[in-house]
Structure formats: structure tokens, C-alpha cells
């Protein structure tokens, strides 16, 4: 029986990961520690809230007392740190929370795990701290090349700098104390439960609500898209089989320009909506509006996943076509989820970032 402390489990990737492991294993216990910021949503985990192998703790990863008390109450085997401020645009507007949660929070978790797991000079057997990181720590690529685990860190936004700082702290606990750690660096995820501030769900939501489709700069920036369940499977492999101290890159192998993504969503929605659905006629390329570029906008990300493929036998199993169709359908079928997360504070956010921009 393995006990997982999953932080940020009410967010997009964290909740998908919890679904994935709860379906896969009967013999695990999951503690989900989440502050429930604007991005955390317990509706993402409705189907497992009564599961006897799952408990939710509302709290902040920077709260050392709380984190220590969780380690005292439970014999934690794995920490998987998803908790973060995750949106680049918000980090440009207001970096403070990124420094606090992403750097200080990771430090608090490392210290608590060290206190609980290091007995004299020896680490308890079978423990691991997995830091969920991002390809953005490597910076921006030109037209060619890929990020490998040897690519020097070159973060360019407050978000990616805070993630790179956290990675370095995690690495330092391995080098200095031999703490059993892994770091995973994944490319852009998409799928169910993603908050509609990120490109794909924002475009789906805007199409459905008849809004313009804001494309930053020339729309030619490239991201390497991965379906969230493929990421979850990779994390599960790394936590169970990854070599201690190692970094693993995880990429979907689906490079797309942003404008291509937006057009793909328009087409997918038009295919899925029936002809008598009044939303259908509003969804068209005429709604695409090129807007002011993101400051310091990274041009291209592309991941070399050779290491995780060769060492752990991982492969992305979802093609971009399948993944996007499934995702668009999910948002259509879960309109209540979308309505709830786009009311209230979201409207203020949208106005500030897109209307008053």
C-alpha cells in the first residue's frame, strides 16, 4: 500500500492524475493537499470524493506547520508536487504569488519530506519526491532543435523562472542530502478540467459563447501538445520506476502553431454541433482577432522524449486528432462545469487581460 501526498490535486493535471491512479491501483491511499485558488476546483474530483482511499486537505503548501502535520499523521511514500501558480500571463501581471507558491512552497515540501524520511544518515526505503516541472524552464527554441535533459535552463518569464528555481532546489536536495527525487519536465497539456485561461479551453469557451478568438502576436508561436492522460501515465512510470536523481522530459511530439490550434478547434466544434444549434453559425474564422503579443513570448517549445522512451518504455498514446476531439466533446458535455468556472472572478480576469489590454 503506497501513500501519496499529491499537492495541487484539484487543478487540471493534478485531478487528471488522481483519476488515473485511483482507476489503476486499488492498493493506494491519496492525500490531496490543495489551497483551492481560482484554478483549484473540487468538482474535478466529484466521483472520488467518497472513496475510502482518498482524503482532501484544504491548505497551502507554504504552510510548514500544516505540511509537517500531514507527514506526522500519514506515512507518506510519494510526494508529487503539482501545486503551482501555472499561468504565464498572470505571472507577467503579478509575479509575487508565483515566487511564493512555486519556490517557497516547494522548499517547504522538501524540508517536510526530509524531516520525515531522513533517519540519521539514511533515507527510509521506498520514498520519493517528484517535482512536476515544465519544458518552459529551457527557454525558447528557434525553428529547429529540441529540448533534452541536457539543455541548459534559460527561463524567460516569471512563471518559468519560478519553476526553474524550484527545480534547482529539488536537485540540490538530491546532490546535498541524497534525497530520492525525480523531476519531470512536460510540454503543453490539454484535456478535460483545464481552466479556460489556457489556449485550448479559452478558445473552446469563446467559440461557444460567441466571443472573439484572441491570438497573440502573429499566431506562429509553436507549442508541443500532449494529452493530459499521457502525462499522467508518464508521471506514474517515473514515480515507480524512474532512476533516483534523474530528470525526465515528457513531450507529445505534436508541434502546432497557435493559429493552427485555433482553426482546429473551430473545425472540431463545427463538426460536433448539429445544424440547428444556434451557436454553430457564430463559430467561424472571422472571429479570430490578432491582439497585442505576450511580453517575452517564447517562440517555440519542442521536447526530445528519448530518455523516458528508452529507459521507462513510455510513449504518448493519444494522437492530437483523437485528443482534441475528445477534449472538445468533453467541454460540450460539461457545460455546467464551464459555466461555473467562467462566472464571477473569471469575468473580471477576462476583462483585464483581453478587453482592457
Site residues for ligand NAD per CB under 6 A: 7-8, 10-14, 34-37, 39-40, 60-62, 82-86, 101, 105, 132, 134, 163, 186, 188-189, 195
Residue nearest to ligand NAD (CB): 11
Do 41 and 71 contact (CB within 8 A), yes or no?
A: no
- Residue 232 binds which entry of ligand DAU, ligand NAD, none, with Cβ cut-offs from 5 to 8 Å by kind? none
41 makes contact with ligand DAU (CB under 6 A): no
Smaller CB distance to ligand NAD: residue 127 or 231? 231
Interface mask toward ligand DAU for 182-201; x: CB under 6 A: -----xx---------xx--
Cα dihedral 29, 33, 37, 39 sign: negative
287 makes contact with ligand DAU (CB under 6 A): no
Sheet containing strand 54-58, strands side by side? 54-58, 28-34, 2-7, 78-81, 128-134, 181-186, 247-250
Residue 274 CB, shortest distance to ligand NAD, in Å, is 31
- Residue 11 binds which entry of ligand NAD, ligand DAU, none, with Cβ cut-offs from 5 to 8 Å by kind? ligand NAD
Instruction: Please count the residues of the chain.
Output: 357
Number of residues that bind ligand DAU (CB under 6 A): 19
Residue 117 CB, shortest distance to ligand NAD, in Å, is 21
User: Facing residues of 216 across strands?
Assistant: 291
- In degrees, to the nearest 5, what angle opens at C-alpha 54 toward C-alphas 51 and 58? 125
**How many other C-beta atoms are found inside a 10 Å radius of the C-beta of residue 274?**
6
88: its cell numbers: 504565464
Residue 118 CB, shortest distance to ligand DAU, in Å, is 30
Pick the stretch among 3-11, 130-138, 279-287, 342-350 that binds ligand DAU (CB under 6 A): 130-138
325: its cell numbers: 476531439
Active-site residue set: 135-136, 159
- Residue 215 binds which entry of ligand NAD, ligand DAU, none, with Cβ cut-offs from 5 to 8 Å by kind? ligand DAU
Smaller CB distance to ligand NAD: residue 123 or 320? 320
Residue 84 CB, shortest distance to ligand DAU, in Å, is 7
134 makes contact with ligand DAU (CB under 6 A): yes
202 makes contact with ligand DAU (CB under 6 A): yes
101 makes contact with ligand DAU (CB under 6 A): no
Distance of CA 219 to the CA centre of its chain: 22
Smaller CB distance to ligand NAD: residue 85 or 236? 85
Smaller CB distance to ligand DAU: residue 161 or 258? 258
135 makes contact with ligand DAU (CB under 6 A): yes
B/e letters for 36-56, b = 16+ CB within 10 Å, e = fewer, are ebebbbeebbeebeeeebbeb
Q: How far apart are CA 328 and CA 267, in angstroms?
A: 10
B/e letters for 165-199, b = 16+ CB within 10 Å, e = fewer, are bbbebbbebbeeeebbbbbbbbbbbbbbbbbbbbb
Smaller CB distance to ligand NAD: residue 83 or 215? 83
Smaller CB distance to ligand DAU: residue 157 or 182? 157
Q: Provide the binding-site residues for ligand DAU, judged by CB under 6 A.
A: 86-88, 134-136, 187-188, 198-199, 202, 214-216, 221, 223, 258, 294, 301
Amino acid at each position: 500500500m503506497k501513500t501519496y501526498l499529491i499537492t495541487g490535486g484539484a487543478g487540471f493535471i493534478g485531478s487528471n492524475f488522481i483519476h488515473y491512479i485511483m482507476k489503476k491501483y486499488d492498493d493506494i491511499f491519496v492525500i490531496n493537499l490543495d489551497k483551492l485558488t481560482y484554478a483549484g476546483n473540487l468538482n474535478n474530483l466529484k466521483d472520488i470524493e467518497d472513496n475510502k482511499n482518498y482524503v482532501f486537505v484544504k491548505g497551502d503548501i507554504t504552510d510548514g506547520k500544516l505540511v509537517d502535520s500531514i507527514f506526522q499523521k500519514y506515512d507518506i511514500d510519494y510526494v508529487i508536487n503539482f501545486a503551482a501558480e501555472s499561468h504565464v500571463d498572470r505571472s507577467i501581471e503579478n509575479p509575487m504569488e508565483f515566487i511564493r507558491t512555486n519556490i517557497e512552497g516547494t522548499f517547504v515540501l522538501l524540508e517536510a519530506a526530509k524531516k520525515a524520511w531522513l533517519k540519521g544518515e539514511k533515507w527510509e526505503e521506498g520514498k520519493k519526491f517528484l517535482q512536476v516541472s515544465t519544458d518552459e524552464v529551457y527557454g525558447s527554441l528557434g525553428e529547429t532543435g529540441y529540448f533534452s535533459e541536457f539543455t541548459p535552463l534559460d527561463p524567460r518569464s516569471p512563471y518559468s523562472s519560478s519553476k526553474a528555481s524550484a527545480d534547482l532546489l529539488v536537485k540540490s536536495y538530491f546532490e546535498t542530502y541524497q534525497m530520492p527525487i525525480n523531476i519531470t519536465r512536460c510540454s503543453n497539456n490539454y484535456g478535460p478540467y483545464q481552466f479556460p485561461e489556457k489556449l485550448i479551453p479559452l478558445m473552446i469557451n469563446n467559440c461557444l459563447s460567441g466571443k472573439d478568438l484572441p491570438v497573440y502576436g502573429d499566431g506562429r508561436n509553436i507549442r508541443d501538445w500532449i494529452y493530459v492522460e499521457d502525462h499522467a501515465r508518464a508521471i506514474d512510470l517515473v514515480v515507480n520506476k524512474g532512476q533516483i536523481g534523474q530528470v525526465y522530459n515528457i513531450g507529445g511530439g505534436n508541434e502546432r502553431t497557435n493559429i493552427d490550434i485555433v482553426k482546429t478547434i473551430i473545425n472540431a466544434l463545427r463538426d460536433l454541433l448539429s445544424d440547428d444549434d444556434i451557436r454553430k453559425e457564430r463559430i467561424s474564422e472571422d472571429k479570430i482577432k490578432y491582439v497585442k503579443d505576450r511580453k517575452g513570448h517564447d517562440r517555440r517549445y519542442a521536447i526530445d522524449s528519448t530518455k523516458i522512451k528508452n529507459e521507462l518504455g513510455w510513449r504518448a498514446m493519444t494522437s492530437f486528432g483523437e485528443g482534441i476531439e475528445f477534449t472538445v466533446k468533453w467541454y460540450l458535455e460539461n457545460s455546467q462545469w464551464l459555466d461555473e468556472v467562467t462566472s464571477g472572478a473569471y469575468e473580471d480576469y477576462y476583462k483585464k487581460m483581453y478587453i482592457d489590454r
